[in-house]
Amino acid sequence: MATVAQEKGAGIQLLTGSEVMANIVRLADVDVITAYPIRPYDTVMQYVSRFIANGEFDADYIPAESEHGQFEIVKHASACGARVFTGSSGVGWLYAMEPLAVTAGLRLPMVALVGCRALDDPGAFGTEHNDAMLVRDLGWLITFPDNAQEVVELGLLAYRVAEDPKVFLPCAIAMDGAFLTHSQATVKLPTQEQVNKFLPAYDRGDLLLHPDNPVTIAPQANEDWLMEVRRQSSEAAKRAYTVLKDAHKDFCRIFGESTNPFLDEYMTEDADVVLCGLGTLSLPVKVAIREMRKEGKKVGLVRLKWFRPFPTEELRASLSRFKAVGVVDRDYSFGSPFHGGILFNEVKAALYGSPKQPLMKGFVCGLGGREVLLENVKHMADQMFAIAKSGKADNQVEWIGVRG
């Protein structure tokens, strides 16, 4: 098993999102790491390998022959009781789809960084969320940090929740490519003592794959037991919600934080309309909100920190306070209801049947890493003010900033 050579790096530093995640991997004392190059996620592996080369971190670091092999290695290491870390981006993430599906089915708490990027073709290296979203129905937990500091919170919570025996599900940390993986910000890193207090050792108990504990893994269940196995995974995904809430309380107590476990609200106290989205979208939206507030426009932001477990009750309580809600997707779901994005349809489903439902409209923007400009945000907010004033929403989804 790996051991931390010495405590290092606590305090305020200038770091990218990938560098912060590499520090979380070091502080979490991960045992087995696999890497295969594809941008933009692979910068995290460069930083992890530097820690190991400099003697600051001891772990088994295995360069794989492909993404498929990469995820297979850590899957089996996790079954043997090793804390693991891996990751990928875009079509590389999809090349590993077989082990991605199997890992969730086997209830193995793999933690992976998805450096979100567009899926080919046509080729594009910029941010989209469709790669990470493809595991949303398989049993993966998915979290979307919006800045480098939040990677500390969500990275540590990923290990804590995924490895809880009541959950034992894999977790994807979906980090916007370039905007977060490569952009530097001042970040306060925790001490090793704080992390040790928050993160217990990974213990598979009776499920451990070991010669002294013979167990069967991945048996052929067929129609005799498959529904029962699926139901167990569903119950684990339900329990992840409560486990996450409890773990977040511990996080706030140990690290002196006072964040909300599921939602980030910005200038919503007196807002008439809000925009709702994921990840680094919050950065241009918050700037635009400050400018619109100077014009007397009561607009705010509600950002989801976790997509799985989906914070249904928190979102219903929050969004029901507003006259109109614009849901901004950095993804697409071709042929879906209203031809909207994935988040738009999930938010609509969560609010269906709510005693008080705001008027809603979907927007698709920022695909392929295209910048979301202040004028784009102001346009979307103005659309929502118009809907709130008219009292009608037509379910039409608008693509923002599209030529032709």
Residue 290 has pLDDT above 80, yes or no: yes
pLDDT tens column, 242-277:
999 999 999 999 999 888 999 999 999 999 999 999
- Place 395 in a pLDDT band, splitting at 50, 70 and 90: confident
Preceding amide of 40 cis, omega within 30: yes
- How many residues in total does the chain contain? 404
pTM tops 0.85: yes
Question: Is pLDDT of 394 > 90?
Answer: no
Q: Predicted confidence band at 7 (pLDDT cuts at 50, 70, 90)?
A: low
The residue-averaged pLDDT of 170-184 equals 97
- Kindly report which listed range (28-42, 69-83, 208-222, 314-328) carries the lowest average pLDDT score: 208-222
Nearest Cα neighbor of 78 from 46, 37, 111, 124 is 111
Quickly list DSSP for 234-254: HHHHHHHHHHHHHHHHHHHHH
- Cβ atoms < 10 Å from Cβ of 381: 23
Phi, psi for residue 362 in degrees, rounded to 5: -105, 145
Calculate what percentage of the chain has a pLDDT beyond 70: 98
Cβ of 154: how many Cβ atoms within 10 Å?
A: 23
* Rounded CA separation 358/344 (Å): 13
Span 304-309, average pLDDT: 98
Identity (one letter) of the amino acid at 389? Answer: K
Token digits for 367? 């695909």
pLDDT of residue 9: 67
Which pLDDT score, from 0 to 100, does residue 8 have?
60
Q: Which SS3 state, helix, strand or coil, does residue 335 take?
A: coil
